Amino acid sequence: MAVSRRKFLALGAGGAAAAAGLTGCGSRSSLGAADELSMWCWTGSVNDSLIATAEKGIPGAGKKLAMTRIGGDYKTKVLTSLAGKSLVPDIIGINDDVATYFPNADQFHDLRELGADKVEADFLPWKWKLGITPENKMLAFPMDTGPTALFYRRDIFEKAGLPTEPADVAAAAPDWDSYIQLGKKLKQAVPGSAITDNITSIFSYALAQLPKRYMTAAGQYIGDADHIRQAWDLAVRVVKEGLSANAQSGSTDANAVVTNGKLVAFIGAVWWAQLGPKNAAPKTKGLWRVTPAPGGPGNRGGSFLAITKYCKDPEAAFAFITWLESAKNQAESFLDPVLFPSTPASYTDSRLTAPDPFFGGQRIVDVFAESAKKYPGAYFSPYDTIIGNPLSNELVNVEIGSKSSDQAWKDAQHQITRELTRAGAI
Amino acid sequence: MSANTPDGPPNRFRQAMPQYAAVSPFFILFAIFGAFPVLFSIWLSLHSWDGIGQLKWVGLEQYSYLLTDPSFWKSITNTLLIWVISTVPMLLLALVIANALHNATRFRSFYRIAYFIPNITSVVAVTMVFGSIFSNNFGLLNAFLQSIGLDKIEWLSQPWGIKIAIASIVAWRWTGYNAIIFLAGLQAISSDIYEAAKVDGASSRQMFWRITVPLLRPVILFTAVTSTIGGLQIFTESQVLFGSSGAIGGPGDGGLTIVSYLYDSAFGKNQFGYGAAIGWALFILIVLFSVINWRLIGGGDDDRITSRVRRRANRKIAAEKAAADSQTAGKEHADAH
């Protein structure tokens, strides 16, 4: 296309004006028109039909919702907008790394000041607590959760002569020890069978069952204590027993072990049902079952909503998030995009209790609801990612055979100490 | 003001205003989106910042941490190893392909397009395909190795396997691109030289090494420098192969490159100041390697060629002179008798 001189000048002037507009704006404002509440979330974090309703008018708030689904690098975009201090969305979705926002709690509204206490009783207590900073400020409002359970292939268990019904399997493997024995029998009967895709899965899910993690709420580092070392040793043991498929997370192998039936049992969070067997192995429909996980209830994943301090109408925003996360609407979000509610009242909703044909008509929600209700809850610190990464990286080194368990543990602790010192955490 | 005084010299700046205004959009946009971020990253690298709160001045602490950070040094070694095992075979292969393309008589455009296609294919898609080729348990490559009776190799777990996998993605993607650049260089060489060489009885091999390669040196320098800059910035390959969360460099950090470490520090751990410091370390490294390249392949190109030619000419003259001397000496000797 030929660009005429006039057009070129117009383009240039437009570009310059746009650039001036971007830099010249120093006002602290929120994104969107005055009669709108702007919200950012990543794809697949909210139910689309609920959002469509709110886009026409938020029930009981007198405003409309302007929702943006951010693809890729969600957190970076949120941080960029917060750092710019202008055109910040009124409401943002936050993932399970909610604690990394705690040091900057002043950027958000304290939801208690907006009346959050009134709805507290509707939510799982441990989930509610995760959004509250050690300074007792409520920064984030619960969305979905990620209760864990044991997924297993009924047909393979039958072949191996093991119990097949969920209750019997749970009785046969109440703890990790008996589960490993069960895994060994599986492997004997059906060679190549694995009970985990890789070493870090075992570590993460064992950690997800514990009442404490890497730091105390007072800021003391406990990632080198016995409870972490026990989860570590357990993961190493599963690998040494030959029960891991050695398919590192993020690799194509991780899906392949589900597709080709190598992974016959897996302790996973509720969202794994969709990401794992339903997506990777649709042909195994009807063969899977779910039962309480050996080692007890746990939680991995789940997300939150927060209202930024730039919000033009905090009351309306709060009215919106309480509506969106009500027990009734969370039940709707379970159907699509399969988010497990943080409101116990949803667990008896007919939309959740419908038998799942993929799991042979089992009411899988009962298993996950039990796990969600009984999960002890643990404190997540702002530094959990910095601490967790070296540990899982070093575990991989153990699985691929490049380091001994003790050496890997030592290296991980050394790196964590360095990182935490630099971050000013210890 | 001088424009208002009738007898003052004309204001040259004022006269040139329309021209400045016309070229200003680029400079304004560059200042905002190019120069400012670059300068800000220097400022940022002297601070500690989590992306939201206040910048905290730490001086050169980020840099001193960088120098004692084993992960950083590992990322440099990884990057250099991947760079060597991708660039050297890539440029050699590209030269061979370019030569073949140059001499091809049929379907030339088809071949050119065919060799260029890998370069315009999305690197993410390419990496995903290579991921399933190199995949440890169910990869195509391991299936092939096992079918011919060899043991499978854990490409995506072992440090060397990871580097070879990444290097082959890089090489696959850029070989055709460099071949096209070489081809352009080849076509600029006058056919007279080749004809003259043919007349003198040079073999095709001699012509390649004695004519093509020396005359292509500026082009080889260009590809070497761009491949170095590209090679030091390898990122997408390891990111797509190993995912962005947690172990960004893959098992044992075998595929941790400088840029992936930068990305992980800034956007994974939200240590933006440290990320900026890594960025500047990378900048220094690229400058260093570009200079080394320049010295090795092209440095003082004219000087070196002319001096070599001069030496050769001097030798020839000296030899001729010696021959002539001995001849005349012989003649004189004969005359004397």
Q: Does B41 touch chain A (CB under 8 A)?
A: no
Q: How confident is the model at residue B136 (pLDDT cuts 50, 70, 90)?
A: confident
CB atoms within 10 A of CB A385: 18
Q: How many CB pairs under 8 A join A and B?
A: 120
For residue B307, the model assigns a pLDDT of 65
One-letter-per-residue 3-state SS of B223-239 = HHHHHHHHHHCCCHHHH
Q: Which fold has domain A5-145+300-356?
A: D-Maltodextrin-Binding Protein; domain 2 (3.40.190)
What percent of chain B lies above the pLDDT cut of 70?
88
| Residue boundaries of the structural domains of chain A | 5-145+300-356
For residue A117, the model assigns a pLDDT of 95
Range B160-163, long-range pairs (CB < 8 A, 24+ positions)? B160/B254, B161/B134, B161/B254, B162/B238, B162/B241, B162/B250, B162/B251, B162/B254, B162/B255, B163/B78, B163/B81, B163/B82, B163/B85, B163/B254, B163/B255
CA dist., res. B246 & res. A250, Å (int): 10
Helices B272-293 + B70-103 axis angle, to 10: 40
Tell whether the model's pLDDT for residue B304 goes beyond 70.
Answer: no
Picking from A106, A400, A402, A420 by the largest number of B CB atoms within 10 A of its own CB, the best residue to mutate is A400
Q: How confident is the model at residue A25 (pLDDT cuts 50, 70, 90)?
A: very low
Tell whether the model's pLDDT for residue B336 goes beyond 60.
Answer: no
Q: Does B334 touch chain A (CB under 8 A)?
A: no
Q: Taking a C-beta distance cutoff of 8 angstroms, is the pair A140, A94 a contact?
A: yes
> DSSP characters for B175-200?
HHHHHHHHHHHHHTS-HHHHHHHHHT
Q: Taking a C-beta distance cutoff of 8 angstroms, is the pair B297, B217 a contact?
A: yes
Average pLDDT, chain A: 90
What percent of chain A lies above the pLDDT cut of 70?
93
CA dist., res. A72 & res. A70, Å (int): 7
Between A272 and B209, the higher pLDDT residue? A272
pLDDT tens digits, one per residue of A168-192: 999 999 999 999 999 999 999 999 9
Range B77-81, long-range pairs (CB < 8 A, 24+ positions)? B78/B163, B78/B249, B78/B253, B78/B254, B78/B255, B78/B256, B78/B257, B79/B231, B79/B232, B79/B234, B79/B257, B79/B258, B81/B163
Picking from A53, A35, A88, A69, the residue whose alpha carbon sits closest to that of residue A306 is A88
pLDDT tens digits, one per residue of B244-268: 556 678 888 888 999 999 998 888 8
In whole angstroms, how far apart are CA B85 and each of A122, B76, B78, B158?
59, 14, 11, 16
Provide ipTM, 2 decimals.
0.79
For residue B53, the model assigns a pLDDT of 81
For residue A248, the model assigns a pLDDT of 83
Q: How confident is the model at residue B8 (pLDDT cuts 50, 70, 90)?
A: low
For residue A267, the model assigns a pLDDT of 96
Kindly provide the b/e burial profile for residues B63-93, where b requires at least 16 CB atoms within 10 angstroms of the residue's own CB. bebbeebebbebbbebbbbbbebbbeebbee
pLDDT tens digits, one per residue of A372-400: 999 999 999 999 988 998 999 899 999 98
Q: Does A353 touch chain B (CB under 8 A)?
A: no
Q: Taking a C-beta distance cutoff of 8 angstroms, is the pair A307, A39 a contact?
A: no
A387: tokens are 């601490």
Tell whether the model's pLDDT for residue A22 goes beyond 50.
Answer: no
| Chain B environment of A425 (Cβ under 8 Å) | none
**Do A389 and B135 count as a contact with CB atoms less than 8 A apart?**
no
Q: Taking a C-beta distance cutoff of 8 angstroms, is the pair B73, B253 a contact?
A: no
Q: How confident is the model at residue A15 (pLDDT cuts 50, 70, 90)?
A: very low
pLDDT tens digits, one per residue of B213-238: 888 888 988 898 899 889 998 998 88
pLDDT tens digits, one per residue of B68-101: 998 899 999 999 999 999 999 999 999 989 988 8
Q: Does A388 touch chain B (CB under 8 A)?
A: yes
pLDDT tens digits, one per residue of A204-226: 999 999 999 999 999 999 999 99
**Do B267 and A250 count as a contact with CB atoms less than 8 A apart?**
no
For residue B127, the model assigns a pLDDT of 86
For residue B322, the model assigns a pLDDT of 82
Average pLDDT, chain B: 85
Q: Does A164 touch chain B (CB under 8 A)?
A: no
Residue A152 CB partners (closer than 8 Å, separation 6+): A169, A264, A265, A266, A288, A289, A290, A291
For residues B178-189, give the mean pLDDT.
92
Three-state DSSP at B139 gives coil
| Chain A environment of B139 (Cβ under 8 Å) | 252
Tell whether the model's pLDDT for residue B5 goes beyond 80.
Answer: no
Tell whether the model's pLDDT for residue A99 goes beyond 60.
Answer: yes
For residue A252, the model assigns a pLDDT of 76
For residue B300, the model assigns a pLDDT of 53
Q: Indicate the residue of A103, A256, A396 with minimum beta-carbon distance to B138.
A: A256
**Do A247 and B136 count as a contact with CB atoms less than 8 A apart?**
yes
What values do phi and psi take at A30, rounded to 5?
-100, 165
DSSP state of A362: B
Proportion of chain A in helix, strand, coil states, percent, rounded to 5: 50, 15, 35
Q: How confident is the model at residue A199 (pLDDT cuts 50, 70, 90)?
A: very high
In whole angstroms, how far apart are CA A123 and each of A22, A46, A147?
41, 18, 14
Position A185, amino acid: K
Q: Taking a C-beta distance cutoff of 8 angstroms, is the pair A277, A284 a contact?
A: yes
Give this prediction's pTM.
0.83
Least confident residue range of B33-37, B282-286, B332-336: B332-336
Q: Indicate the residue of B53, B137, B274 with minimum beta-carbon distance to A104.
A: B53
For residue A348, the model assigns a pLDDT of 95
Picking from B40, B48, B50, B236 by the largest number of A CB atoms within 10 A of its own CB, the best residue to mutate is B50
| Chain A environment of B72 (Cβ under 8 Å) | none
Q: How confident is the model at residue A351 (pLDDT cuts 50, 70, 90)?
A: very high
CB atoms within 10 A of CB A118: 10
For residue B290, the model assigns a pLDDT of 84
- Of all residues in chain B, the one with the smallest CA distance to A198 is B251
Q: Does A71 touch chain B (CB under 8 A)?
A: no
